[in-house]
Chains A and B, each alone.
Chain A
Amino acid sequence: EAGVVQSPRYKIIEKKQPVAFWCNPISGHNTLYWYRQNLGQGPELLIRYENEEAVDDSQLPKDRFSAERLKGVDSTLKIQPAELGDSAVYLCASSLRGFSNEQYFGPGTRLTVT
């Protein structure tokens, strides 16, 4: 069974430019998470989806970040415009809603903003 797929794996952009990350969760997983992981830190939740509904986006900087999960499967996280402080690894994870909190992570997208 395929794991969580993310693309691109690496992205280098200049500040003020837009950037988008894509995630395809494990088949059948209703819950999808986007995390940001700064160097030397643990993942921090940005947004959690139950199917296509964003049920926890309290930590998402809504002035520049947006996310969508059309049809309750794939998801896209966007930053516009990017700032230097956005340099981090953006991780996507998925889990089976209502069964457990066992989250399965993708490899992440390493973003560098110059």
Chain B
Amino acid sequence: QKEVEQDPGPLSVPEGAIVSLNCTYSNSAFQYFMWYRQYSRKGPELLMYTYSSGNKEDGRFTAQVDKSSKYISLFIRDSQPSDSATYLCAMSVYTGGFKTIFGAGTRLFVKA
């Protein structure tokens, strides 16, 4: 079993839709939770960074962490064609240095 599970998609939605992306994890020691966006032939770009359970909002993006269920989500409101990309979840634990595990990524297509 992988430490981080993420549905690879693809997920196709119409412009303006609310998008929900999810990851589950097995290691309860993970403390930090991130979402990265990766456009084709580019490096991942950090979108959201959270430390604790609960919600964090940044513009059209909301990150949600439920440590009791080992489940994290990213919501995108009013999705735009420019949001079409691969979204990677990532989780870290600090053990003298950060160990980070990435999910496989979900490919999102937003249709105009």
Contact = CB atoms under 8 A, between A and B. Distances in A.
Given A43-B102, A48-B97, A102 B46 contact: yes
B104 A42 contact: yes
B8 interface: yes
Contacts of A50: 97
A103 B46 contact: yes
A110 interface: yes
A97 B41 CA distance: 27
Contacts of A91: 43-44
B104 A103 contact: no
Contacts, number: 58
Given A42-B88, A42-B90, A42-B105, A105 B100 contact: no
B97 A43 contact: no
A40 B104 contact: yes
Given A56-B97, A101-B92, A43 B34 contact: no
A104 B97 contact: no
A108 B43 contact: yes
A103 B91 CA distance: 12
A4 B46 CA distance: 13
A110 B99 CA distance: 24
Contact of B43 (A45, A95, A106): A106
Nearest to B2: A42
Contacts of A103: 46, 100
Contacts of A110: 41
Nearest to B6: A42
Which of B94, B99, B103 gathers the greatest number of chain A CB atoms within 10 Å? B99
Interface string A1-37: 0001000000000000000000000000001000000
9 contacts: A40-B104, A42-B4, A42-B105, A102-B49, A103-B100, A104-B46, A105-B45, A107-B41, A108-B41
Listed from nearest, the 6 A-B pairs whose CB atoms lie closest are A42-B102, A105-B43, A101-B98, A101-B92, A105-B44, A107-B43
Interface of B: 4, 6, 8, 32, 34, 36, 41-46, 49, 88, 90, 92, 94, 96-105
